[in-house]
Amino acid sequence: MVSQNVVVSDANTGIITVSNSSVFAPSAQKPPTVPGHISISKKKLLKNLELSGAQSQRLNSWVDSMRASSPTHLKSLSSLSSEDELNSWLKRHPSALDMFERIIEASRGKQIVMFLDYDGTLSPIVADPDRAFITSKMRRTVKKLAKSFPTSIVTGRCIDKVYSFVKLAELYYAGSHGMDIKGPTKGFSRYNKDKPSVLYQPAGDFLPMIDEVFKQLVEKTKSTPGAKVENNKFCLSVHFRCVDEKKWSDLALKVRSVVKNYPTLKLSQGRKVFEIRPMIKWDKGKALEFLLESLGFENSNDVFPIYIGDDRTDEDAFKLLQERGQGFGILVSEFPKDTNASYSLQDPPEASDGFLATVGGVETNSTMIMKGAME
């Protein structure tokens, strides 16, 4: 259970605001520092900087991780894998479509609650993050699902940005990796008609710092062609989808040279993106837990959460579902990778035209909580 203090505002606003000092880490460790930055190859960079063994290992690790997040590199690695290795991975994380009947059987008599990542799940990963639009078909699918059961989008994007893509007022939104949570607009969802709207922002005190770091990163990375810094309100993203691979080590050093001066921020990496977030005890798993509590399923055995995502940050939610022993996590990925998810789907079209559309035609024993999501 998430520990929290809840304060309800006056009747005019009908908004729940939540503050929780316990989400802050007891001790914030300053990220490892790396000396200066120069635009040369990794091999030459290591030689010229005369980095220590540990520092060299860190930079090697970062660049290798950046390569691993590249679809082209993943494809080449996958082509080298034996069929036995791929089949072994699929045995551990079988297709959610192939296992659909088992999933539905496990949900009998329970309320399904759907959690969806955005980039790479509802929308394909695209070169320009500002053009990560969902298809009209996907929007119709999600809209009809939300009529049948509570549906949330949990994303690293800021809520305003992802809402401009999705444009569905009946959804729950958890932006900034769950650090900015809002419920459906009043009158658009039957799941909150008797409840005040939900607002949860555990990292509100970090806003000035995030804005400050955003400006520094924009200035620092402007000399790296293809780099794009995105302000997600309570966190930042530095996209390197369009950066020449020869510039990756240089970009990594530039980003770290800024973040190292802010010991209460942490730097991590996703799919061709660096993520800068407040160092608090909050992630997509905590956001999922909070939303379940807000819906009244805090200690319920009659709930069946399904979380679909593609990124490393979604692993916190997959892990939480494992620990709760309720529902399932579904990884969207064309390539084998370590995951806490139970099942897999290959890409956004398979998620929408396949799994979500199929879910839309199922009834449970207790109630028709899933009606036709696609006609």
What is the model's pLDDT at position 151? 95
- Residue 63: which H helix or E strand, with range? helix 53-68
Residues 277-292 pLDDT 10s:
999 999 999 999 999 9
Q: Describe the strand order of the beta sheet including 265-270 as a list of residue ranges.
A: 228-231, 236-239, 273-278, 265-270
Superfamily of domain 81-202+282-364: HAD superfamily/HAD-like (3.40.50.1000)
What is the model's pLDDT at position 4? 42
**Residues for the chain: how many in total?**
375
Cα 146 to Cα 139, 181, 190, 288, 348, distances in angstroms: 11, 17, 9, 16, 18
Question: How many other C-beta atoms are found inside a 10 Å radius of the C-beta of residue 204?
Answer: 14
Which of the 8 DSSP states describes residue 261? T
Residues 328-366 pLDDT 10s:
999 999 889 999 999 999 999 999 888 998 886 664 433
Report d(CA 53, CA 296) in Å as an integer: 52
pLDDT at residue 54 tops 50: yes
Tell me the average pLDDT of the chain: 81
**CB burial class (10 A; 0-12, 13-18, 19+) of residue 87?**
exposed
Residues 117-154 pLDDT 10s:
999 999 998 989 999 999 999 999 999 899 888 999 99
Domain boundaries of the chain, sorted by first residue: 81-202+282-364
Report d(CA 4, CA 7) in Å as an integer: 10
Report d(CA 72, CA 65) in Å as an integer: 13
pLDDT at residue 64 tops 80: no
Query: What pTM does this model have?
Result: 0.78
What is the model's pLDDT at position 110? 94
Question: What is the token pair recorded at 341?
Answer: 């998810």
- Give me Rg for the CA atoms of the chain: 21
Question: 3-class secondary structure for 139-192?
Answer: HHHHHHHHHHCCEEEECCCCHHHHHHHHCCCCCEEEEHHHCEEECCCCCCCCCC
